Amino acid sequence: MRRSAARYVSVLAVSAAVLSIGAAAPPADSPPVTTPVKAPVAAGYGGAVASVDADASAAGIEVLRRGGNAVDAAVATAAALGVTEPYSAGIGGGGFFVYYDAKSRTVRTIDGRETAPRSADSSLFLENGKPIPFEEGMTSGLGVGTPGTPATWDTALDAWGSRPLRQLLQPAERLAKDGFTVDATFRSQTQANQARFADFPDTAELFLPGGQLPVVGSVFKNPGLARTYKELGSKGVGALYHGDLAEEIVDTVRKPPVRDSATRVVRPGDLTVRDLRSYETERRAPTKVSYRGLDVYGMAPSSSGGTSVGEALNILERTDLSKATQAQYLHRFIEASRIAFADRGRWVGDPAFEDVPVKELLSQRFADSRGCLIKDDAVLTSPLAPGDPRRPAACGTSGAAAPTTYEGENTTHLTAADKWGNVVAYTLTIESTGGSGITVPGRGFLLNNELTDFSFAPADPAVHDPNLPGPGKRPRSSMSPTIVLDHGRPVLAVGSPGGATIITTVIQTLTGHLDRGLPLVEAIAAPRASQRNQATTELEPAPWNSPLRGELEAIGHAFRQNPEIGAATGVQRLPDGRWLAAAEKERRGGGSAMVVHPSGGANSEGR
């Protein structure tokens, strides 16, 4: 066993010693449970699911109990999140799916990112040569891309699933029909969108019944989505890309159904039935770097997650973070993140349109050429200019800096594993909280505003921007579903929502666990910082109000406060063969970790 892998096993032992067993899902033949028990950590056999929501995690566990695999469970969980987390994800959006196949010991990925209409060009968000206000792109048909989530489910199930979509949608269909219990997070997210939702009659009817906010503790039902899921189950996801539903989506985008008295400027989009009919997911090779003797796999472009997480880890590889003080650790983490974002801004876009140097961005040679910029007693100036991965120069920069574009933070992430050892890390989104704000009439789901992830205009006309809109182009994403292997076997999987903060959350969670020795659930719960090649670094309240901030400010760091960064979930293989599922303790009201058979000891279900 390699030294670093041996160190990791000791971390696993700590994790196993401190975990709480958590809640199992109800048996498949038991009566429906309105509100499953919510716990941030669980361990046992037979498979595991972690998500932000207990009803969604229970849907995935139900599938595992019935003999489904991790891919089946991930689809069922994602469909349920479309019910209980409709402002974060749903069939009106897209995402990225990373899968570990236990039989072949390989990692595969699906790019299910939304695409721009074929009519789109670099002037998509320009008017009279100037960018339109961001709010007008955000709440509009103009920001809606062709949804990729249903096609992602279809691709994953066709390649690796064991159950039909019809069966996997049943828990979510039941949840939409019978309802779920409204919590404080759902109410507060509705309240934050109240004025926007009120301008769209179909959205208001669904999410603001009687013009009122949903009451915490009440039951929220979505019969339109239940009918839509039933249709997709009987006809297949092609119904969304070819049938009546496709035409309804196009009509909604091209003529947004706005309240007559609304004063909001709601621009129409140019999505067509042809755009939906021609949509395809992309099966891409994963990104891969070696970190502390472990293999870290992520999502390749159009996501910048895999390249940015990988580059930052390569930079941090040269420092023994296990021996660093907390201030030294955060300083190195912040600076590595700053550099990775500087390079992603220049080089990463949709590979169908841009020549993205993925191999070079992930090379240790390039990381070393950039990492030498970091000093122990000083802070790099942001925005930092990028390096040239094809011609690395020691401590060199190349060209003008590219600012980080805004990305909506209300994505969601789920992780799943099964008794055969297969693992899924799946991040999905509709972009902003509430997406475009536009509900397809009678269908029960919001449309995305994912195209606002494009740069509205180049930051510097003299410098090429790889993230400008284009016909059929995928906007750059920060989604970072990640799977870590040791000698071809799963160690852990992790991911998070949070827009561009996803990347820093995943880096911090990985290093907190692998380097700092935190149990996975504690690495997920740890206070966060996020630097994205900006003048200031975001800090959550705990470090903001601690002496640590003063230590970092003394060497030049500048901060701004962010009340909450990310909401990660993960699964982990323990040394005794059990699965550990971990989720947030408090962020977004706490997440939900479940296993099929909770166990504190050996069990015949284990491998």
Active site residues: 411
Phi, psi of 235 (to 5 degrees): -105, -15
Both structure tokens of 219? 């039951």
Pairing of strands 579-583, 41-51: antiparallel
> Shortest CA distance to 464 belongs to which of 411, 523, 402, 409?
402
Partners of 417 in the β-ladder: 48, 423
C-alpha–C-alpha distance, residues 410 and 429, integer Å: 7
Element (H, E) at 542: helix 541-544
Both structure tokens of 27? 């048996």
Residue 383, preceding bond cis, omega within 30 degrees? yes
Amino acid at 278: S
Element (H, E) at 340: helix 326-347
204 secondary structure, DSSP code:
H
DSSP of 290-321: EETTEEEEEPPTTBSHHHHHHHHHHHHTTS-T
Pairing of strands 592-598, 23-24: parallel
Partners of 208 in the β-ladder: none
Contact 150, 105 (CB under 8 A): no
C-alpha–C-alpha distance, residues 194 and 156, integer Å: 35
* 3-class state of residue 266 by DSSP: coil
Element (H, E) at 501: helix 501-514
C-alpha–C-alpha distance, residues 502 and 345, integer Å: 15
362 secondary structure, DSSP code:
T
Element (H, E) at 128: none
Both structure tokens of 590? 């706490």
Q: Measured on CA atoms in the order 603, 39, 223, 79, is the torsion positive or negative?
A: negative
Q: Measured on CA atoms in the order 123, 128, 129, 131, is the torsion positive or negative?
A: negative
Contact 171, 233 (CB under 8 A): no
Contact 266, 141 (CB under 8 A): yes
